[in-house]
Structure formats: structure tokens, C-alpha cells
Amino acid sequence: MSAADGLSPASRNLLALLADGGFHSGEAIAASTGSSRAGIWKRIEELRALGVEVHAVPGTGYRLARPLELLDRDAIASALTGAAAESFGGLEIHFQLDSTNSHLMRRAAHGAPTGTVCLAERQTAGKGRIGRDWVSPLSGNVYLSLLWRFGRAGFSGLSLAVGVAVVRALRAQGIADPALKWPNDILWSRRKLGGILIEVTGEANGQYAVVIGIGLNVNLPDRHGENIDQDWIDLARIPGGAGVSRNRLVAGMLNALAPMLADYESTGLAPYLDEWRRYHGFDGAMATVQQGDWARTGRIVGVSAEGLLILECEDGKVRQFASGDVRVRPL
């Protein structure tokens, strides 16, 4: 993490010290960090300004409202196996970025290699689909983007295959019944657990630089969740999810994504489509597909071989959609 990442080195050191969630006296912090009491208080206020809940108890010390697991490059890299260890050599961890996707799009324009992975503890302008903001508080969630290049426009349906990889990783961490909603939502009990954002740019050599962004709610404070415009959930609220390690989860997703990406130009969506359909719980549901100012309402029939949403519309016609904001009616 560089000094330009939005938090001073002294404050980052203090955050790492407090991350265990236990009380630390002012004297112990001063001895560990070499800071004066005034310096410690300044660092505490800097953390609070970024939304970190720090409790101060006279005579006892300071502690975080909840323990934090900071992202650890070595822990992630050591858990990569097979294709992931070979494919994802460039692993960047930042304390703060505007957006991990935006950062990698810029890096791609300057020749960053395929397989570059970017993670951030915090985003100041996290990106969702259709221009939405992605709520991105400090150290509570996973904000991951990776760069992959394709030699041709052979990545139709990629967001669905990525969704399958994410569900596999969640299941491997003991999360039962994660689900998917077309085209890019990761759900649990019909509440949003995460999402996928894919951005593409053409390059002079005829290749396509594809940035795959994945956001997952791990431990999202209620005060930040108030800014989300739909029902949401985080892993901490799911049975078995409170103890999931962010570093192990990131490594698990990369392990699931690597073989899929390596073969996707030749295989396409086909090897993942049946599995995606098993995780999709909305066939037969009534839904509205919004595209700008235009909307269609009907019954979800399923997903085509190309990953298009099939909707039997209220006028009786069956239509396919390559994009759109899908709002499913409550059961």
C-alpha cells in the first residue's frame, strides 16, 4: 500500500494494531507506534473520518467496534493454486482507490499485463451497473477487479460464468445456497450479497481488454447499508458466514476464475450455463426489464445459450435481452 492511498502510514499502522478488536492502552499504542498521546488522538480521528468506529474508554484504552481482517498479499498469494498461481502474478492491494475497475482500466491503457488483480480496502467512487454507486466502506467488504485480454469479441455471457465462479467460491467457504440473478447479481435468500461489473475496451492490436469487477458484502455496517436501494445482506448475517476470511475468499474466487478465463475464448458460456441455471431462482417469476426510459414486463422464461434473458412479455411476445435492469416482483 502506498502513502498516496488516502491514509497516512502512521494511521495505517494504528489500524493494523487495533484490527484484533481488543482494547489497547494509550501507553501500549505509544510504545508500539512511537507516537505521542496527541499523535495517537490525531490518528484516531483520521480513522473515524473514514468511517472506522473506534471506541475510547478512559483508563482502558482504544478498540475497534469489531475486528477487521486487513487484506494481505502474502496470505492471498500463498492460497492460490494451479492456474490461478500461474495466471495472477500481479496482485495489487491498495488502501484506497476511486474504483478498482477504473484503476485497472487506466492500468490496461498503459499496458498492464493480463492477469493483473487489484483489491482495495476502500473505494471513494465504487461502480455498480447502469451508473450506480457501489457502497464501499473501509475493510468491511471485498472490492476486487482483474484484467483479462481476449483476442476477439469472444466473451459473450462472461458475467454469467463469473457468477458461477463466485458461487463456487462461496460454497467452498461453507456458505449454503448462494444464488444468482441475471445478469450480474449475487444473492442469498433473494437479498443482494454482491455484484459483478464487466467493462471492456478495444486495443490497437485488435485485442479486447476486459476488466472484471466483483463486489461482495462481508461485514457491512447498517449505516452504510442505508444507502443501498434494494434488500441486501452480508456474510456476517448469513449462517456460517461470520467467520469467513476475506483473504481466503479472495483466493478462492481467483482459484475458481482462473481456469474458466483461460478457456473461455474456446468454450464460451456453454460449460457453465446449466450450473448457472441451477443457481438462478427466478424462472417463472414476473419481472420488469428496464432499459433507459423503456421497460417491458413479463414472465421470466429463462436464459438462452448466449446468456440472454428470455421474457414472455405481457403482449404475448417472447423477447430476449442482452442487458437491462431486472426488477422481480415479490412472491
Q: Where are the domains of the chain?
A: 9-64, 73-278, 282-328
CA 48 to chain centre: 23
CATH 1.25.40.10 is the classification of domain 9-64: no
Q: Residue 129 catalytic?
A: yes
Which pLDDT value is given to residue 230?
Answer: 76
Q: Residue 299 catalytic?
A: no
Strands 325-328 and 309-313: unpaired
Which pLDDT value is given to residue 32?
Answer: 86
CATH 3.30.565.10 is the classification of domain 282-328: no
260 grid coordinates: 474458466
Residue 298 CB neighbour total at 10 angstroms: 19
Which amino acids are annotated as binding site, given as ranges? 99-101, 123, 192
- Judge contact between 180 and 293, C-beta under 8 A: no
Buried b (16+ CB within 10 A) or exposed e, 65-99: eeebbbbeeebbbebbeebbbebbeebbbbbbbbb
The enclosing H or E element of 297 equals strand 294-303
Give residues with Cβ within 8 angstroms of 141, minimum separation 6. Answer: 215, 216, 217, 218, 219, 220, 234
Q: Which of 100, 189, 107 is nearest to 142 (CA)?
A: 100
Mean pLDDT by 10 residues, the chain (331 residues): 60 89 91 86 87 88 89 95 92 92 95 95 73 64 95 86 98 96 93 94 87 92 67 91 93 97 94 96 90 90 94 94 86 55
Pick the catalytic residue: 129, 168, 181, 246? 129
Which pLDDT value is given to residue 89?
Answer: 82
Residue 105: what are its φ and ψ, rounded to 5°? -65, -40
Residue 18: what are its φ and ψ, rounded to 5°? -85, -5
Which pLDDT value is given to residue 4?
Answer: 43
Q: Taking the chain, what is the end-to-end CA distance rounded to the nearest angstrom?
A: 46
Q: Which of 314, 267, 286, 306 is nearest to 183 (CA)?
A: 306
CATH for 73-278 is: 3.30.930.10
Pick the catalytic residue: 43, 107, 127, 192? 192
CA distance 27 to 270: 60
pTM for this prediction: 0.89
Q: Residue 192 catalytic?
A: yes
* Strand locations in 115-223 (E): 117-123, 142-150, 178-181, 185-188, 191-202, 208-216
Residue with cell 486495443: 203
Tell me the torsion sign for CA atoms 98, 102, 106, 111.
positive
Which amino acids are annotated as binding site for biotin, given as ranges? 99-101, 123, 192
CA distance 66 to 249: 19
